[in-house]
Amino acid sequence: MRIFWFIILGILVLGIIAWLATSNFTYEVALNTKPEAVEGAKWRSFILVIVSFIPVVALLTFYLYSTVLYKLLRIDHYENVFKLGNPWVWGVIIALIIEILIGLICGLISIPEKKFLLILTIIAFSGLGALFAILLYWIFTLFYSPQKVKYAPPFRWEIVGVFLRKLKGR
Amino acid sequence: MSCYAISIGGTGARCIESLIHLCAMGLGPKRLYILMIDPDEANYNVNRTQTLITRYLTLKKRLGLPSDSSDFPLFKTEITFSKDKNGQPIYLWTPVGEKKTLKTYFEFPRLPKEYKDLAKLLYTEGELELEWDQGFRGRASVGAPVMAGIAQKTADEPWYSLIQDIKETLNQDFAKLFIFATIFGATGASGFPTVAKILRDISEEWTNRGKFKIGGALLLPYFSYRIPPEKEKEIYARPEHFLLNAKTALSHYHFLWQHIPSPYDAIYLIGDQTMDSQGREFGEGGTKQKNSVHYIELLSALAALHFYQSESRAERENYQYYAGRNEESNIYWEDIPFSKEKELELEHQMLFFSSLAIAYLSFYSPLIRNPKFEEKWELTPWAADSFKKGSLSLRLAREEQKELAYYFCSYLKWLCEIHLSTDRDLKMLNKAALKIVLTSLTGTDDITEALTKDEFKEEINVEDNTFKNLLHPGARTYTPIKYGYDELWEMMCQMKEKPTTKKEVGGAGITETDSEIGKFVTGKLLLFLYTAIKRFCNKNYDLKIEEE
């Protein structure tokens, strides 16, 4: 079941990246957001990297969540049940860190003068990308979450649970 | 087929206690009619068994547990009993009425002189004036005439209903009656031949009398206690007399059944060479006479199950059974008769039920009682998928959960007593783990004190390492799962509700109305947990049970 979702979501991610690379979307974003002190081409490639990495980071985080993270919380005491939402939050933090790291690396490579304000702007943009990655990660977890933490992703119980109960006719 | 169990005396009552627990594990017959006989109405062991029967019945009724489900054998036995005029159950019958000494029983002052002399020849003055309200105090000869008096009381309850029930059963099938008694005490030894003979004599007039089978467990000496020096001169059951009592009683039965046939179709003689005193204290009867359950009593209850399950023929039979250990001081599962037989599977069922009790008391009960459980409902997938939100916290559900907790506490205490109140090294369940369970259950570290304590905590704290190591390491080669409760949680989360509308199937198909008021929801929880526990034990202890 889990592998099925990875294949579907993997194809989806690849499709999004392919669409980003071939469409005018990143060009339009770069045109409207470029800071004055940055070259247009560099900014466009930066935006392309950030936007392309959004689904990649989301899928990677989703993979980590559904294979490793949820297992890290051991239910060896009943009170740990109330912490079962934590692994999903760890996924959010991981997505945020990866995106910001991407922004930091891009900033340090593409801004040779080490203008901190500019680097901070780039990091802020990657932070914005992280928000989209987290949103995508949440959507992925709506489709699949391991049995142990089945309804741990926020609102999965309300959205999927209600849908499943409707299907069961209850 | 209907099964009947009669216990005579305090030890017999403890055998019935073991039998009830075996029924709770799912090993009992479909229907079991119970009656306890004891002159000491306040006897601690009798009261303890009465409480247990009440808990069993309440639990079965309140949880909506099924009587005939292959998926859920727990508590499947329908326990029944005689009732008085007001419809109140009679679990205990006392042969002692208003007349509480031999002198009043014989109406001594009105007896002709030759009978008075005969009575004085047979009994000492102390025995003739001995008060029976705390039992016959080790004097079987005092109890014998009182027990024989049952023959005049068969038209009264509880005997009337019992006899009618047997008679009705015989119209269709076999009726199997099993009697538990000790041979080394007074009540059991005096009642064992008499009760069986009275019932056998009554059955002689019935058309299907061949289908009425009587079996009995005769318990030979196996425990001891210390009598305080100040009581040395008084009349009490004395451990130093037990062996002599047993020898004399056996000789008497031999003499008795040499010329007239024994009323028994099968007798199980059960005992041990060691006289265990752990968890046994001297008491003058009543609530003071506290004795822990012993593994010999478990063997007696298993003997009853063996008798109930054995194939019977329509003519009288005469079997005697015995069992033995492979090693002198150790007892393994293999040494327990019938423990590996397919029909009983004691090892598996005891493991399942013990793990279930610990998981419930230590994890699932505290979980569902925690206020955060409802607040963070979605974090419990098995509940979110199969239970209505809030249904497990409703008043009725809470009451059901309390009943279940009470029963599991009684069970775990019994289990700990079986393993810890003998000098024999029982290599069945892990004694180290059971000591932790008992300590947590009673709140005391002193095992001797814990064995005599009867107040339990509703929740216990048993750590993962204890939970996954319940089976004695010497009993079977197994490598426990790394995280026991975690694995069980995963298995609980994989549980799928069976599509059924029948209420009988472990309460799984409870109606919307039941759910609204919290009725039977704990039964459904128990079904889920039991199924998950079975899978867990199969994996953890490498039981190699094929999943259905």
Q: What digits encode the pLDDT tens for the residues B257-284? A: 888 888 899 899 888 877 766 666 656 5
DSSP-derived secondary structure for A123-141: HHHHHHHHHHHHHHHHHHH
- The predicted complex's ipTM stands at 0.81
Note whether A81 contacts B380, CB cutoff 8 Å: yes
- Whose tokens are 């009684």? That residue is B410
Using CA coordinates, name the residue in chain B closest to A150.
B381
Note whether B378 contacts A151, CB cutoff 8 Å: yes
- B86 has which bridge partners? none
Q: Which residues of B touch A2 (CB under 8 A)?
A: none
Of residues B337 and B498, the one with the higher pLDDT is B337
Q: Which of B191, B171, B240 is nearest to B1 (CA)?
A: B171
Pairing of strands B31-37, B2-8: parallel
* CB contact A85 to B (< 8 Å): yes
pLDDT of B502: 41
The set of residues, in sequence order, having a beta carbon less than 8 Å from that of A96 and lying 6+ positions away, is: A127, A130, A134
Using CA coordinates, name the residue in chain A closest to B375.
A82
pLDDT of B57: 92
Q: What digits encode the pLDDT tens for the residues A92-122? A: 999 999 999 988 888 777 766 667 777 788 8
The amino acid at B530: Y
The number of CA neighbours under 13 Å toward the Cβ of B3 is 26
Q: Which residues of B touch A76 (CB under 8 A)?
A: 463-464, 483-486
Q: What digits encode the pLDDT tens for the residues A78-97? A: 999 999 999 999 999 999 99
Q: Which residues of B touch A74 (CB under 8 A)?
A: 483, 486
The amino acid at B211: K
Which band of pLDDT confidence, cut at 50, 70 and 90, is reported for residue B499? Answer: very low
In this structure, what DSSP letter does residue A100 have? H
Q: CB–CB of A131/A101 below 8 Å?
A: no
- Calculate how close chain B gets to A154, using CA atoms only, in Å: 9
pLDDT of B324: 75
Distance CA B145, CA B136 (A): 11
Q: What is the mean pLDDT of residues B394-418?
A: 92
Q: What is the mean pLDDT of residues B207-233?
A: 79
Note whether A147 contacts B490, CB cutoff 8 Å: yes
Note whether A79 contacts B364, CB cutoff 8 Å: no
In this structure, what DSSP letter does residue B341 have? S
Closest CB to A75: pick one of B373, B486, B494: B486
DSSP-derived secondary structure for B207-274: TTGGGEEEEEEEEPP-B--PPPGGGTTS----HHHHHHHHHHHHHHHHHHHHHS--S-SEEEEE--SS
- Most A CBs within 10 Å: which of B373, B489, B501, as the mutation test of the A interface? B489
Q: CB–CB of B56/B24 below 8 Å?
A: yes
Using CA coordinates, name the residue in chain B closest to A163.
B385
- Most B CBs within 10 Å: which of A76, A141, A149, A155, as the mutation test of the B interface? A76
Q: CB–CB of B162/B35 below 8 Å?
A: yes
- Calculate how close chain A gets to B71, using CA atoms only, in Å: 23
Percent of chain B with pLDDT over 70: 86
pLDDT of B501: 36
By a Cβ cutoff of 8 Å, what residues of chain B touch chain A? 362-364, 366-367, 370, 372-373, 376-381, 384-385, 463-464, 483-486, 489-490, 493-494
Q: Which two tokens stand for residue B482?
A: 């790394």
* CB contact A75 to B (< 8 Å): yes
Which of the residue ranges A18-32, B16-30, B299-313, B506-520 has the most confident prediction, judged by mean pLDDT?
B16-30
Helix axis angle, B44-62 relative to B9-24, nearest 10°?
Answer: 20
Q: CB–CB of A137/A115 below 8 Å?
A: no
For residue B496, is pLDDT > 80? no
- Torsion sign, CA atoms B238, B301, B271, B410: negative
Sequence length of chain B is: 548
DSSP-derived secondary structure for A34-88: --TTS-HHHHHHHHHHHHHHHHHHHHHHHHHIIIIIHHHS--SSGGGGGGTTHHH
Using CA coordinates, name the residue in chain B closest to A81.
B379
Q: Which of B337, B350, B299, B332 is nearest to B543 (CA)?
A: B350
